[in-house]
């Protein structure tokens, strides 16, 4: 199994390019099942989760090629509508095939995703939405079986703005008969990337103030589409430079979609700036100020995916800071590992209280999920001594070439088999 060996204490300086967004690419790849022609996608990151989604499409019968971040998918000859347990258990986003398969085949059987390290994570909002669109849903032998003669437009109130349910239901509704109005939808930027891809391919999806309106169309005709850059990688690499006292420039050809994260970094005394014309985001370490309070929220609130990264920065900040996690019940798995490195953190329910310490010390530690793993990489980059991080397959699910990128800006990080 691969591990990272990281020798801390090297400030990071230089320039890097941000890869394509995992969480935009996953639903867009699944959306290729809505077409009757070959789909070409570019800027697709080389990641374990992307390979899992491609494998799932292959099991369904789609033919794919994936080289140099360019993915072609030919979904014209699907032979199956089943997403097996082996894949769904390794990646919950496998349920993204449900919407497109219900829309095009009228039948799908997807293994019921259980809980995961982030918590229970039910999918009731997806399923109620499919039922609203006219599908029947039942659980049989551990699988969710969805059936529909055809899907018909409807009014759907999500109740909570689930990212996954918003994407899945958009994909189900684009080919439905009539108009769908979706209230309490998620507003994460990755959703608008899916919408952009579908609209440029002939879908009729309109974003209104209070709801998304989807007018069903007969068929879609694909355009070649370049997936948006990854805002969570942007935040991660920026935070890596800050925690080491360095300065990094990150190529960013997109609008400012991490403002809630940037504002907290600025409150901490760091300098963070986006030059939209140049397409460069600069992160420069400043003199740390203390006492930061953060609450994770759906977009445009503070993203739960950047919570562990900010938490590690705060562990070395002056004063006492608070983080309240409202999206996932189990997103503080990085805390016990950081305590092993000398951090002073107390958990109270869904909150943590962080008393900043002067230094972190190297220790053997373990990644538990993608973002917890990345936050431990940051801690190790700042720590005194040599840290070994185990179970980095979690990190490989969501970061393209992380150690190569960090090495090229001065980090001492090595992938080893331990
Ligand atoms: N939820 C329900 N019922 C549902 C759906 C969600 O109760 O039917 C709950 C979940 O249990 C969770 C909360 O609602 O507590 C948020 O879930 P959501 O559906 O919004 O998240 P997701 O689609 O499962 C995506 C990202 C996550 C990211 C969250 C929140 C992908 C593939 N995953 O998950 O990314 O944290 O949105 O922004 O897009 C990651 O990249 O490391 C990651 C975990």
Q: Rounded to the nearest whole angstrom, what is the distance from the C-alpha of residue 304 to the centroid of ligand 1? A: 9
Q: Rounded to the nearest whole angstrom, what is the distance from the C-alpha of residue 322 to the centroid of ligand 1? A: 22
What the block records as the tokens of 88 is: 């769904």
Q: Rounded to the nearest whole angstrom, what is the distance from the C-alpha of residue 341 to the centroid of ligand 1? A: 29
- Closest atom of ligand 1 to 328 CA is 15
Ligand 1 binding pocket includes 95 (Cβ within 6 Å):
no
Q: Rounded to the nearest whole angstrom, what is the distance from the C-alpha of residue 298 to the centroid of ligand 1? A: 10
Please choose from 162, 165, 234 the residue to mutate so as to test ligand 1's pocket, defined by most ligand atoms within 8 A of CB: 162
CA 97 – CA 28 distance, rounded (Å): 10
- Closest atom of ligand 1 to 127 CA is 8
Q: Which residues contact 63 (CB under 8 A, 6 or more apart)?
A: 73, 74, 77
> pLDDT higher for 147 or 289?
147
First vs last C-alpha separation in the chain:
6
Q: Rounded to the nearest whole angstrom, what is the distance from the C-alpha of residue 418 to the centroid of ligand 1? A: 32
Ligand 1 binding pocket includes 367 (Cβ within 6 Å):
no
pLDDT number for residue 295 = 98
pTM exceeds cut of 0.95: yes
Q: Cβ(358)–Cβ(341) under 8 Å? A: no
- Closest atom of ligand 1 to 23 CA is 39
pLDDT in tens, 355-382: 999 999 999 999 999 999 999 999 999 9
Q: Rounded to the nearest whole angstrom, what is the distance from the C-alpha of residue 187 to the centroid of ligand 1? A: 13
Q: Rounded to the nearest whole angstrom, what is the distance from the C-alpha of residue 190 to the centroid of ligand 1? A: 12
Ligand 1 binding pocket includes 229 (Cβ within 6 Å):
no
CATH class belonging to 22-226: alpha beta
Beta strands at 13-17 and 247-251: parallel, antiparallel or unpaired: parallel
pLDDT in tens, 247-277: 999 999 999 999 999 999 999 999 999 999 9
Atom 6 of ligand 1 has which residue's CA nearest to it?
Answer: 162
Which residues are the active-site residues?
A: 116
Please choose from 305, 350, 370, 399 the residue to mutate so as to test ligand 1's pocket, defined by most ligand atoms within 8 A of CB: 305
pLDDT number for residue 288 = 77
- Closest atom of ligand 1 to 93 CA is 32
CATH code for the part of the protein at 2-19+229-417 = 3.65.10.10
- Per-residue confidence band for 418, with pLDDT thresholds at 50, 70 and 90: confident
pLDDT number for residue 332 = 97
Is residue 117 over pLDDT 90?
no
* Domain spans in the chain, listed from the N-terminal domain onward: 2-19+229-417, 22-226
pLDDT number for residue 119 = 78
Average pLDDT value for residue range 205-224 = 96
94 sits in the region (left: phi over 0; alpha: psi -120 to 50; else beta) called alpha
Let me know if the fold of 2-19+229-417 is the same as that of 22-226: yes
- Closest atom of ligand 1 to 164 CA is 23
Say what percent of the chain tops pLDDT 90: 94
Please choose from 20, 22, 23 the residue to mutate so as to test ligand 1's pocket, defined by most ligand atoms within 8 A of CB: 23
Atom 4 of ligand 1 has which residue's CA nearest to it?
Answer: 123
CA 399 – CA 377 distance, rounded (Å): 12
The greatest distance separating any two alpha carbons of the chain, rounded to the nearest whole angstrom, comes to 63
- Per-residue confidence band for 290, with pLDDT thresholds at 50, 70 and 90: confident
Ligand 1 binding pocket includes 110 (Cβ within 6 Å):
no
CA 127 – CA 137 distance, rounded (Å): 7
pLDDT in tens, 59-107: 999 999 999 999 999 999 999 999 999 999 999 999 999 999 999 999 9
Is residue 17 over pLDDT 80?
yes
Is residue 121 over pLDDT 90?
no
Atom 13 of ligand 1 has which residue's CA nearest to it?
Answer: 327
pLDDT number for residue 316 = 96
Atom 23 of ligand 1 has which residue's CA nearest to it?
Answer: 164
CA 372 – CA 241 distance, rounded (Å): 17
């Amino acid at each position: 199994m691969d591990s990272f060996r990281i020798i801390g204490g090297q400030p990071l300086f230089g320039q890097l390019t941000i890869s394509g967004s995992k969480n935009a690419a996953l639903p867009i790849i699944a959306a290729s099942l809505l077409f009757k022609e070959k789909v070409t996608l570019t800027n697709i990151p080389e990641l374990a989760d992307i390979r899992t989604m491609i494998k799932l499409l292959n099991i369904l019968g789609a033919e794919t090629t994936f080289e140099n971040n360019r993915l072609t998918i030919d979904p014209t000859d699907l032979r199956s509508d089943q997403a097996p347990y082996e894949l769904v258990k390794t990646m919950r986003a496998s349920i993204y095939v449900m919407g497109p398969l219900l829309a095009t085949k009228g039948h799908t059987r997807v293994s019921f995703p259980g809980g995961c390290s982030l918590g229970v994570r039910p999918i009731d909002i997806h399923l109620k939405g499919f039922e609203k669109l006219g599908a029947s849903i039942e659980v049989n032998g551990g699988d969710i079986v969805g059936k529909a003669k055809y899907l018909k437009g409807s009014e759907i109130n999500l109740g909570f703005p689930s990212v996954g349910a918003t994407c899945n239901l958009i994909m189900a509704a684009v080919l439905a008969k009539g108009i769908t109005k979706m209230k309490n939808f998620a507003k994460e930027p990755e959703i608008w990337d899916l919408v952009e891809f579908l609209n440029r391919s002939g879908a009729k999806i309109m974003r209104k103030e209070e709801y998304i309106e989807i007018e069903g169309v007969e068929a879609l005709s694909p355009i070649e589409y370049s997936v948006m850059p990854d805002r969570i990688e942007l935040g991660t690499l920026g935070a890596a430079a800050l925690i080491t006292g360095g300065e990094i420039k990150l190529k960013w050809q997109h609008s400012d979609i991490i403002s809630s994260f940037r504002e907290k970094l600025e409150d901490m005394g760091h300098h963070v700036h986006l030059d939209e014309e140049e397409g460069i985001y600069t992160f420069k370490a400043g003199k740390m100020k203390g006492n930061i309070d953060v609450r994770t929220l759906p977009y445009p609130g503070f993203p739960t995916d950047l919570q562990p990264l900010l938490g590690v920065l705060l562990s070395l900040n002056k004063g006492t800071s608070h983080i309240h996690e409202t999206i996932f019940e189990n997103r503080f798995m990085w805390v016990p590992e950081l305590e092993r490195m000398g951090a002073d953190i107390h958990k109270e329910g869904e909150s943590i209280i962080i008393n900043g310490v002067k230094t972190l010390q190297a220790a053997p530690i373990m990644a538990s999920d993608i973002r917890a793993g990345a936050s431990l990489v940051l801690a190790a980059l700042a720590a005194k001594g040599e840290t070994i991080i185990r179970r980095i397959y979690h990190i490989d699910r969501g970061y393209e070439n992380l150690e190569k990128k960090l090495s090229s800006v001065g980090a001492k990080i090595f992938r080893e088999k331990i």
